Every structure is written in structure tokens, then in C-alpha cells.
Amino acid sequence: MRTVTRIEQPQVASRKRVAAYCRVSTDKDAQLESLDNQMEAFRYRAAQRGDWDLVNIYADEGLSGTSMTHRVQFQQMIEDCKAGKVDYVITKSISRFARNTVDTLQTVRELQSHGVEVLFEKEGIDTADSLSEMVLSIMASFAQEESRSISENVKWGIRKRFESGQEVKVPLYGFYHTDDELYLIQEDEAAIVREVFERFVHGDLPMEIMNDMIARGIKPPAGDTWKRLQLDRMIKNEKYAGDVILQKTYIENHLTHRQIRNRDSRVPQFHVEKAHAAIVDRRVFDQAQKIFAMRKVSDGNSTYPYGDMLRCPHCGKPLMHGGLNNFFYDGVKIQNGGWGCYGEGGCRSYLLIQNVLDEAMIRAYEKKFGEKKDRVDFYWLDDSVEEIKLGEDQVTIQWRDGETSVVEMNFSEKRYCPTRYSDFYSDYLDRVRNGEVKNKYKHLMGLKMPIAQKEAC
């Protein structure tokens, strides 16, 4: 997937005959911004640009959804462009240019065939840009977004909306839309979205968050009850960070209007950052994505909170997390499992009990920052730790500020020290593989690996 940011308006080299097009579509818009104001703004901007000759301002007034043919000034502008009177059309936004972006695309292509380019100020899209092919596909996907909301609006009472002046919500929880803006923040819902993200990055499980929402009687994003899948989708939705992934779906063709999920990128996908207002901070969103990936391990073993931070001090391979399902430490079942060198090509000579590492990390954090954490969570690891270097009975922490801490890991007995413990565990695994020991846990760390002679480190 390519990443694009908003496209800046390029420098125009030579003098251009510029026409502005503006439109006021609803009563609400009319109050906010009159045609006069829009026209005044265009005049001012043209005057500031030394290379623009403002040849005309075309302005239509009327309700949204008015078809292209009824927009007299718009049609006049097209005619003037075709007649070679205009080089460049500036307009406030795609939605102002035409209600239906499919029409916009057709119009843009028609104008381009006469050497006329269009600037959409709000979206920062200039069809004169060398990336116009990409720009046009972005616009095409705006068209999809728009035609989807149009068809929904039509179905669910667009007439009522105009009669009563009510807002019609887009389906995405936390946002609402107007004619101009597809993603405006709905504050009540946004507060719930923020809470979900905050709690998730601070280590709460989606199930815990969900149960709490239900207990508090918080209305679910959709339907009658909260569903786990809703939370997963919420946490993964880039729109909450203000981004849009364009062309997640595409329209088969303009006759069928059938929408197809763009699974294998049959049409290009674009990740547009900062496309609209964000509900959650980008850092929180990014952390949530990392945590989501850690929590969702197909083996059933979560790698939370260390993710891929831990490496074998003997061979340097990434350590693998395992449940160590029926293993006990000091008479207590090992709740957080362990990290061992039992992945692809691992040396099988290092196995660290996570509880011991957690305890050492919490102690190191307290020593450095004067705050005792209840548990090791990804959010503070990610904030403060650059690198964790494991040893036999000590861990070296490289903090993000450049300082280093060395703390002891306290094993209750020597036999739990990582190298010895891995000997014991490797033997145990071999016995499981040989059938000498029965183990009902299929996901035991390293069990999927073939029997191999342990390599000397």
C-alpha cells in the first residue's frame, strides 16, 4: 500500500486565466458562508497571486442534489473553458464542484481534454499535478464514498433531512457528516472511542472493556448489544486517527454500482494521512495497532507486552513466547508464560520466565522514574524503553533518553535460570515428541519444531 499525504498546491509557472466556481447548496451553508463571501475570498486570493488573472466567477445557488443540467453558471463555465477562455478553474471542494463525484471526474476529464486544469482547494487536489493519475484515482474513491452516502441518504430519507434540517449520520461511530465534510466528530461517541483506545493501550483486554461498557449501559456503536468484533473493528479503523484508506472497496462499474471489497488490491489503495479530524492521537492509535497484533497470535499465545523486543543472548534469534501451560515456578503456575529460543532456527538454550523479567522491569522503571507500575504494559515500554538486553541473571535496559539500567533478575532457584531451565524444558519437549510424556497442550512453545540436536552456542 502506498502512503500519500495531502498534495500541496504546486507553483504555477506562467500567467493563468483563472475562473472560480462556487456554489451554495443548503440553507445551513448559506448561513455559514454566503455566495458573496465565497466570491470575495476568490477575488482576494487571485489578487494576492501575481500570476493569476481572474477572468470570471461563476456561482450557482440551489439545493444539494440539483442535477448538473440545472446549474446554469456551471454549464456556462464549461462552455467558456471549451471555448478557450480559461486555463484554470479553482473551486472550494469536490462536493461544491458537483454533487456527484462521478460527474466531477467526467467534467475534469472533459476540461483536461481542452487543456483546462482544476484546483480543489479544500482537498488540495490540483489536476495539473504530475501525479494526476493518482489524484484521479483518489477522486474516484471519493466518488465511491460519496455515492455510498448518497444512496444511503436517499434510502433513509434525504427528503426528510432537507425538510427538517436534520443531520444524517454516516454509519461510522464517532463521526457525522454534512454536505462538505464526511467526517466531523460527534463528541459523545468520540468520548467512548477515546476511552476504548486509552484502555486498550493501557493493557485492558477488549473483553474487559466491552463488559464494562455493557455494565455501564453505554449504547453500542450499532445494533442492540456490544460485540467483540465491533471493538476489534473500532481499534483497527484508521479513520479514528484521521486517516482514510481509499479504495478499500471499489465499484464494479457505473452501471451496476456493485461494490466489491478490494481484497487483493485489484485497484490501487491509498493511505491518506490527516484526511480529516482525528478522534484519537496518532501515537495512541499506532500503539493500539501494535498491541492488537501482539494480542492476536494464531497460536493462542499473546506476545503482549514485549512483542518482538526480546532476543536470545546466546544466538541473537528473536525469542518466542510460550504459555508453558503446565509449568510451575516456585510452586505457582507460571501465568505469563516464558520466552524461549524455540522459534525457527533457535538454539533452544535460553528460556526465561516472564514473571521474573516483569518484576525486574518494574523495579528498573521505579528506580529510574520513581513510579511503581502494577504491571508491564506496552504503552510504558514503548514510551520509555529503546532496547532490552537479556543475560543469564540480569537484564540491561537501554532507555529512550540514552541512559542504561542494569538490574538483577531474581530467580527463586538456580535451576530456573534461563540456560538451565531451557535444558530441562528442551528435554521435556523431546520426551513429549517421543511420546514418553503426554501433553494435551498443543501450543506448547517449541513443540511444532522438529526434533533437532541442540547446537552449541
Which residues of the shown chain bind Zn ion in the complex (CB under 5 A)?
312, 314-315, 341, 347
DSSP letters along 137-173, please? HHHHHHHHHHHHHHHHHHHTTHHHHHHHTPPPPPSST
Per this entry, what is the length of the chain?
Answer: 457
d(CA 50, CA 61): 30
Q: What minimum distance in Å lies between the beta carbon of 456 and Zn ion? A: 11
Q: What minimum distance in Å lies between the beta carbon of 294 and Zn ion? A: 21
Identify which of residues 97 and 342 has a Cβ nearer to Zn ion in the complex: 342
- Using CA atoms, how far residue 224 sits from 169, 176, 194, 212, 216, in Å, is 18, 20, 21, 16, 14
The answer to whether the beta carbons of residues 313 and 392 sit under 8 Å apart is: yes
d(CA 286, CA 238): 10
Identify which of residues 39 and 315 has a Cβ nearer to Zn ion in the complex: 315
Q: What minimum distance in Å lies between the beta carbon of 455 and Zn ion? A: 9
Q: What minimum distance in Å lies between the beta carbon of 343 and Zn ion? A: 9
Q: What minimum distance in Å lies between the beta carbon of 328 and Zn ion? A: 24
Q: What minimum distance in Å lies between the beta carbon of 350 and Zn ion? A: 5
Helical residues (DSSP H) of 271-343, grouped into ranges: 282-295
Identify which of residues 234 and 341 has a Cβ nearer to Zn ion in the complex: 341
Identify which of residues 193 and 320 has a Cβ nearer to Zn ion in the complex: 320
d(CA 84, CA 31): 35
Residue closest to 361 by CA, chosen among 325, 328, 336, 327? 336
Q: What minimum distance in Å lies between the beta carbon of 316 and Zn ion? A: 7
Cβ-based burial of 188 (10 A; exposed 0-12, middle 13-18, buried ≥19): exposed
Identify which of residues 312 and 364 has a Cβ nearer to Zn ion in the complex: 312
Cite the beta strand spans of 181-240 per DSSP E: 184-185
Identify which of residues 110 and 455 has a Cβ nearer to Zn ion in the complex: 455
Identify which of residues 148 and 454 has a Cβ nearer to Zn ion in the complex: 454
